[in-house]
Structure 1
Amino acid sequence: MMILSVDELRVAAAVIGAGLPTVLDVFATDDLGADAAAARSLVARELATPGADEPLAIELGASLADAVDPLRMPASVHELELDTSLGARLRCAEVRDAAGQLRVLRERSHDIWSLDDVAVISEALAAARPVATGTGAVVELGLAEHAKLDELLADKRYDDVNRLLGERGLFLAEALTDPARTLGRFSFACPVDDDGIALERIAWVSAACGTWVVQDADPDSELAVTTFTPVEPADLVAEIDTMAEAASA
């Protein structure tokens, strides 16, 4: 396992021409001073060596280069962001390249991330199974409906959420408005062709109403719908709870 500050992680990725998962977008900055300080820190920690224009130019050491290499050309990315009832925001990303190398980035605190190869999100979702139909049946929303749902949720207009979903989405409405637990956002991106078209899924987690996997269809399609499928949470919820407890410690 390697521990890096978010600035060190950003600089290391930039050196090899790699991007960072979108879950790290919140940390994006154009602060050259922060980048220079991060570069000097990597050199001081012997994770990199000075380049020709030190401190802005560095060469990554073997261990750091190996840690961030899967970020260079990812074949798939799983991301999880959760606002917990404890007030902590937890972020995690799993990146796998075409050769099968896995790198897991976990936020340990606001500025500290770990890089290792122990999968959490992908394995938990692979074990998830749809629940029986009934009040927890699959719910489909068109793009306009989904956009409206996002707007209502952002404004915390939960009564309007229930009206929008109606009887067909009563179980989903409960999951999205349950005050017992803050909802988490999960996304999955996997390039499917040279144009970089990606499939995205979001899972909303609610302690009372289970886990929903949300699959967004091709946004360029006029017939695109968003499918909400209730699933057995497998180990995903337990892992989220563990992450929340660690963040609050």
Structure 2
Amino acid sequence: MLESNPSPGPEPDRAGPEKPRLERQRILQAGVDFIEQHGARQLTMRRLGSALGVEAMSLYRYVPSRESLLDGIVETVIDELYGDPEVYVEPRHGWQDYLLRLAHGLRRLALKHPQVFPLVATRPTEAPWVRPPLRSLRWVESFLAALTSSGFSDRAAVATYRAFSSFLLGHLLLEVAALGADVGPVEEADPHPPASADLDGYPLLQQLQDLLSEDRSAQEFEESLENLMDRLEALAP
């Protein structure tokens, strides 16, 4: 009598371990984490791919270059402001409250990401004629809209943007430097002129382009120095 054959066991898994699923936002967030741990100068596509468990070539489908990666990392960090419940996109209780909330939100952002924050001030801006430059045109537009809707003239809104941005960027760069951040510019591996900014959707930036592109650095320095001296005089015995 023939014995029946035993039932076959389960087929072995020949597929191997599942590869990590990639998407642009996951890559950018991994870039933020890498810079906070190792610094911006150490970031390469190969090292980031290794941190994600993939080959570097897999990243190029989502970020075509290291420079595009750095730009995306900056935008990812700046966009965290939109998730901060204490920061308003538009004034709700007057323009002073709006500016105070924005300033404190940016400081929280700088202290949360001290290694990434210098890139916010040093990355080539989408619109190099904006002075001082800020990587996010979305926030520049929001800032100008908040002030002009509060009664500021175009020129006064631009002057306020310049004074506010210069103070914040300068102070926060010094603060993160004290925490050990590298505040020097990160050199581009393949320098190239910035592409022209697409201003569709930014009507105020289009309207105020001439004012935003004026170089008033010397005058603003003298005015800021004079204001500082007035404050120091009040402290003097």
Work out whether the TM-score is over 0.5. Answer: no
Q: Is the strand fraction higher in 1 or 2? A: 1
> What TM-score, normalized by structure 2, do the two folds share?
0.26
Higher helix share: 2
Specify the structure having the higher radius of gyration (Cα).
2
Give the alignment's TM-score, normalised by structure 1: 0.25
